[in-house]
Structure 1
Amino acid sequence: MRVFLIIILFATANLALGQDQMQDSLLRLDEVAVYGSNAQLNLVGSRVIVPDENLVAFNKQASLTGFLNSQSSTYLKSYGNNMLSTISFRGTNASQTSVLWNNFSINNYTLGQTDFSTVPLSVTDEVTLIPGGGSSFGGSGAIGGTVALANPLSYRKNMTAEIQQSVGSFNTYRTLGSFEKSTEKLSYKINAYYNVSENDFLIPERNLRQEHAAYQSYGALTALGYKLTDDQKLEFSLWYNDNYREIQPTLSGGSNNSDQQDENLRTSIQYQLQSRFFQLHSGIGYFNDKLDYKDGLARSLYIVNRIEGFSKITTSLAKNHIVEAELRGNVISAQNPGYEQEQAFEERYSIMVQSRGELFQKINYAAHIKQQYISDSPESPLSPYLGLAYQLFQRSRHKLKLKVSSSVNYRIPTLNDRFWQNAGDPELKTERGFNNELGLELNSGISNLQNNFSVTTYRNLISDYIQWKPTNMGNSRPENVKTVEILGLELNNQTSFRVNELKLGLDLAYSFTNSTVLEAEREIEIGKHLVYVPSHKANVSLFTTYKVWRLSYLANYTGKVYTSQVNTEVYALPQFILHDVGFQYALPSGITCGFRIRNALNTNYQTYAGYAMPGRNYELTLNYNFKSNN
């Protein structure tokens, strides 16, 4: 019944707002983007990263894990090669990052996080990274940052087809295929993938083969859009993903017979209306996530069903000022043998109001506030955001911009935190994050040379930090035990140069993160660094294209990482640098041949203590691409 009411709510909103009668005071509104790139409009005072297309292409065969590791603001810890991979965004933990797909959350609601090894980069057309707090944009969990994935449809006459096959080390085979056809009224696309690997890599410096780490994954994403009129369109998306893997054992030895299968079904229907005076964007999605874990004869099956819907109206009440209001509902039903009643049910509703535009000449602003309501909870998290961007200087191709923002963000305790049998606590407080950010952007161009530089500093104060703690009964329980302060500095520089048929691109990035425990129950933890948060991280990306040849080089540096709450040096993971090199040759027939060397210097490293990662490995790729504008 509640689900039915949500559907009625959004359907009624469409009918009510779809009337032609509008007040004369409203001004004409230009069409804007509605997916991840919209973050640049809504978060004008914050750093928003739209990755370089060269970097996306270089990592296309990989999962999001490899791609995100090339960003200085993120640290991915993996429990082995292509095993569970979770993110640390600006020093926060995995459950403090929000992951969106076409405006819907796809985080696992039992754990509150996303396993990025199960998300292939090839399935998405746009990736937007939003470091820093943004709960008013990304919802619960966006204390550290947001990863927004999108598959926008084009309504221009076009047809493209692509198929890609690769063969790599450890008996690894990857197949990708895509097809897109569009007219002025109808648009359709499908992306499909299949990956399989024995994953029996040679462990560096041990001369041993990794055992019990094979994996297989396949899936497809399809999207269909139809323009009902010049001002209205209806779009449907479906993403199915199936991922099986043997659970890689630790280096300490011992047998491991466990395996895991993840199955995800994500669907959405979205309606957009662009009138002279307002925009309406409504959508509803159904999501089914299954995790089947087996360890010998023991088996655990976890199932989460969700229905999420939203309705958003955008209008202009004055010149250069946009006003937007959004209603959103989320109904969650989870089946978990570890819960007290073996199931959990929750409803979440939110209302968000925002305004953005030009405050004064050369000063743009964005201000929004989001109120979240949670069933059976006395807490109603409030998340305001205020951002300003001041154009300090602009002349020809030279621009200097100052950005500043402040926000309050939150993370609702996960279903596991609250409902786990003999451990969960329904009275846990919501985590709060108070984020302040200051940045400077300098864009300059001379002749064939373009350079973009940015520096960002930030402070994130997180209270009621949730941590699972051991008890005298031999188990663990979640508690609000910490207050954490995270201070950081990020430097980024992108340089591109072109002369005739020669193109050069150089990206440099560095981040410093100081995450310190200010308050904790154990005095010994106060003043210590958070676990699995490197203080230093740096990336270098070099791309060179000449006629039909292309050379790519990536270097990723990760500093020392503590693995114990008291920062015991003997258990810390040492710093390391990974070097990747890629070559590509394009034939006139649309065929491209590529060769890539990962971890070229055969570095021995770990991103999570006790789990081996592969040394030098290779991948050969053959790609065929067809395009037609007819």
Structure 2
Amino acid sequence: MFKTLPILSAVLLLFSFSIAAQEKTIDTVFIFDNQLVNAKKIQKTSKLKEEDLLKNATNLSEVLRFQSPIYIKESGRGMVSAPSFRGTTAQQTAFVWNGINVNSQFLGQGDLNNLNLLGYDHLEIQSGGGSVIYGSSAIGGTIHLNNELSFNRGLKNSAFFEYGSFETYNTFLKSSFSNEKLSVKLAANYSESENNYEVPEKQYINLNGQYHNKNFSLGFGYKIDDRNTVFWQSQLYSGNQHYPIFSEFSTKTKYLTDNFRSLLSWNFRGEKVQNILKWAYLEEEFDYFQNIDNPKSSGGIGKNYIAKNDFNYSIKEKIDFNLITEFQVNKAEGYLSGIQNISRNAGSVAGLIRWKPSKKMYLEAGAKKEFVEKIEAPFLFSFSGNIQLADYYSLTFNASKNFRYPTFNDLYWKPGGNLDLKPEISHQAELGNRFKYKNFKLNLTPYYMQIENMIRWLPTSSGIWSPINTEKVESYGLESQLDFENSFGKNHAKISAGFIFTHSKDLETNRFLMYVPKYKFFANASYRYDFAEIFLQGMYNGLTFTTSDESISDALKSYFVANAGLNLTFLKHYRFGFKIQNIFDQIYETTAFYPLPKRNYSVNLLINF
């Protein structure tokens, strides 16, 4: 099917040209995740637009490493990659696709390098708990993968081509057409790399590290009348990763994955009532080859059927009541894993009250009850607010109880699965301090979090590994970010810099968690004059333990990595770019034994028409 993507894209482009020849006045933009609008008032949220994503077009790991407070643990460039929010792990991070939680039913997490980067219109990174809205795994934070549809914008098309070191190719094609009633958007992209980089100082060659992936998405929107609109968003992704080996004599392995997502939404908007009804179908399939020359050694297919209703009623001008109900049917079939024809029903009811007593105050309280078959699900709550104390200063606060329930692998994997597991429970609180003066914005957010019943796979007396509810984790720290943006004449300057302090410990052993650096710093700066733009990126990670005994000799040493790029726009529609990654040739690892590339280069071309 993916071989037809370029043909389908070209056909849609020609079709669009035949329908419209010029753009119309901008009308409305629809974002599928409507809850994000309110979340931004009370929680730290960063939005990365397409122009930001293209500065690190290699993969999603690169984007988050240089442009967010998240620590990224990556087993070699383009390989298995997991985020760490506020001292937690990937299993305490919810990946949200257009308002729907898409964490794997098998692993309970997402691999950043198998969550296609260029298939979305923008990303939003939200720190802190959010299980009342987004369910299981929304403990440390949420990563939102968003698509959008516009009305009354006419025809828009764009194409992107990039070639980089290690025979790396990235391409995408997007085409959209909309009028007052109809909106259609198609996007397709392909990425591949031989990924055969070397780090001589570590005597490391990234053998068998090649990868390629393909993505196709289609969005559709139709305005039935002034109050009713229907939307459909779908995505098809296929990835192939060959895992690195340390010797040419080692057995080569690989991992294949295919994901399909489809979301249908019916939106009703009245004077006091707004209702959004969603139906979604998610399918994930994976195959692991312990030897690429032999049949697969393990695999599985998971299917998730979701019905979700979001009802909002304006009781008074300043008070809204929000009722969110959801029902899921989770199904899974494993291969050589002991998981056979598993099915689980899950549902939830959440209620939120939002009150704006004045222009300078916003309050929100929420409660949620989960119902998960064969699992004792918790009662959840949240309480948040925003108070404008001065023209230049506002205070936000957020307290919540969040959770993660066991995955299919945790429960049913043979040998080792544990049917008696309890959900992980988290309590967290944060206090956001937002300052704004002219073109400057400063956000200082201290936080505290405690996780109980964390699920860990540990060896048993019988010699097999099995998951148990074990440690209590305490995490506290500070997230800070300074932003500046200004335009004058043909000049435009933008700076964003963040400093993160994280203290995350296992309370039973009183030792720091693995792969949680105590300090992280990141910065992005760009300056554009007329047709030319230059940008710089920097990222520092402090000492990072890789073992549970806090061994300094095994820890990843601190490092600073910088990138730089130049973009030139000509004939209004064409932009040529050149980028240097790892300018100072830093030797660094985010996962033990897997160095990331030294200095490397890429060139790209973006066409808007």
Name the TM tier (shorter chain): over 0.9
**Superposed counterparts of 1:385-424, under 5 Å:** 385-394=382-391, 399-424=392-417
1:42, 1:554 → 2: CA distance?
A: 28
**1:274 counterpart residue number:** 269
**Superposed counterparts of 1:82-101, under 5 Å:** 82-101=78-97
**1:106 counterpart residue number:** 102
**Would the aligned equivalents of 2:299 and 2:336 in 1 still touch at CA under 8 Å?**
no
1:49, 1:357 → 2: CA distance?
A: 24
**1:592 counterpart residue number:** 575
1:178, 1:432 → 2: CA distance?
A: 41
How far the C-alpha of 1:152 sits from its partner, in A, is 1.7
**1:330 counterpart residue number:** 328
**1:19 counterpart residue number:** none
How far the C-alpha of 1:281 sits from its partner, in A, is 0.2
1:201, 1:138 → 2: CA distance?
A: 39
1:345 equivalent in alignment to 2:338: no
Which portions of structure 1, spanning 4 or more consecutive aligned residues, are displaced by more than 4 angstroms?
31-34, 251-254
Structure 2 unaligned blocks of 5 or more:
1-27
**1:552 counterpart residue number:** 535
1:132 equivalent in alignment to 2:128: yes
**1:7 counterpart residue number:** none
1:203 equivalent in alignment to 2:196: no
1:511 equivalent in alignment to 2:500: yes
**Would the aligned equivalents of 1:72 and 1:511 in 2 still touch at CA under 8 Å?**
no
For residues 400 and 424 of structure 1, do their structure 2 counterparts lie closer, same or farther at Cα, with a shift above 3 Å needed?
same
Q: Paired residue for 2:474, among 457, 461, 485?
A: 485
When normalised by structure 1's length, the TM-score is: 0.89
**Would the aligned equivalents of 1:42 and 1:366 in 2 still touch at CA under 8 Å?**
no
* Residue aligned with 2:229, SS: strand
1:326, 1:66 → 2: CA distance?
A: 34
**2:43 counterpart residue number:** 46
Which amino acid letter does the alignment assign opposite residue 42 of structure 2?
G
Which amino acid letter does the alignment assign opposite residue 403 of structure 1?
T
2:142, 2:219 → 1: CA distance?
A: 23
**Superposed counterparts of 1:168-179, under 5 Å:** 168-179=164-175
**Superposed counterparts of 1:358-437, under 5 Å:** 358-360=356-358, 362-377=360-375, 379-394=376-391, 399-437=392-430
2:131, 2:249 → 1: CA distance?
A: 43
**1:18 counterpart residue number:** none
**Superposed counterparts of 1:595-610, under 5 Å:** 595-610=578-593
**2:516 counterpart residue number:** 533
1:371, 1:50 → 2: CA distance?
A: 30
1:598, 1:37 → 2: CA distance?
A: 36
Structure 1 unaligned blocks of 5 or more:
1-30, 520-525
1:455 equivalent in alignment to 2:444: yes
2:126, 2:455 → 1: CA distance?
A: 23
1:358, 1:368 → 2: CA distance?
A: 15
Q: Paired residue for 1:145, among 141, 144, 163?
A: 141
**Would the aligned equivalents of 1:580 and 1:597 in 2 still touch at CA under 8 Å?**
yes
* Residue aligned with 1:161, SS: strand
* Residue aligned with 2:410, SS: helix
How far the C-alpha of 1:598 sits from its partner, in A, is 0.9
1:263, 1:341 → 2: CA distance?
A: 19
Which amino acid letter does the alignment assign opposite residue 115 of structure 1?
D
For residues 341 and 605 of structure 1, do their structure 2 counterparts lie closer, same or farther at Cα, with a shift above 3 Å needed?
closer
1:589, 1:487 → 2: CA distance?
A: 48
1:621 equivalent in alignment to 2:604: yes
CA deviation vs aligned residue, 1:531-572 (integer Å, no higher than 9, x gap): 111100000111010110000100011111111111111111
2:510, 2:160 → 1: CA distance?
A: 50
Which amino acid letter does the alignment assign opposite residue 223 of structure 2?
K
Which amino acid letter does the alignment assign opposite residue 435 of structure 1?
Q
How far the C-alpha of 1:33 sits from its partner, in A, is 7.0
Q: Percent identity?
A: 26
* Residue aligned with 2:44, SS: coil
CA deviation vs aligned residue, 1:304-360 (integer Å, no higher than 9, x gap): 011111011111011211111011011111111354453421111001110112145
2:501, 2:558 → 1: CA distance?
A: 14
**2:18 counterpart residue number:** none
For residues 37 and 505 of structure 1, do their structure 2 counterparts lie closer, same or farther at Cα, with a shift above 3 Å needed?
farther
How far the C-alpha of 1:54 sits from its partner, in A, is 4.8
2:203, 2:167 → 1: CA distance?
A: 18
How far the C-alpha of 1:45 sits from its partner, in A, is 2.9
**Would the aligned equivalents of 2:67 and 2:524 in 1 still touch at CA under 8 Å?**
no
Q: Which has the higher contact order (CA 8 A, sep 6+)?
A: 1
CA deviation vs aligned residue, 1:4-27 (integer Å, no higher than 9, x gap): xxxxxxxxxxxxxxxxxxxxxxxx
1:43, 1:125 → 2: CA distance?
A: 18
Q: Paired residue for 2:222, among 215, 226, 233?
A: 226
**2:118 counterpart residue number:** 122
Q: Could you tell which deviates more after superposition, 382-391 or 338-347?
A: 338-347
1:265 equivalent in alignment to 2:269: no
Q: Could you tell which deviates more after superposition, 360-369 or 185-194?
A: 360-369
**Would the aligned equivalents of 2:280 and 2:307 in 1 still touch at CA under 8 Å?**
yes
**1:303 counterpart residue number:** 301
1:468 equivalent in alignment to 2:457: yes
How far the C-alpha of 1:238 sits from its partner, in A, is 1.0
When normalised by structure 2's length, the TM-score is: 0.92
Which amino acid letter does the alignment assign opposite residue 69 of structure 1?
R
CA RMSD across the alignment: 1.8
1:486, 1:418 → 2: CA distance?
A: 27
Q: Could you tell which deviates more after superposition, 235-244 or 113-122?
A: 113-122
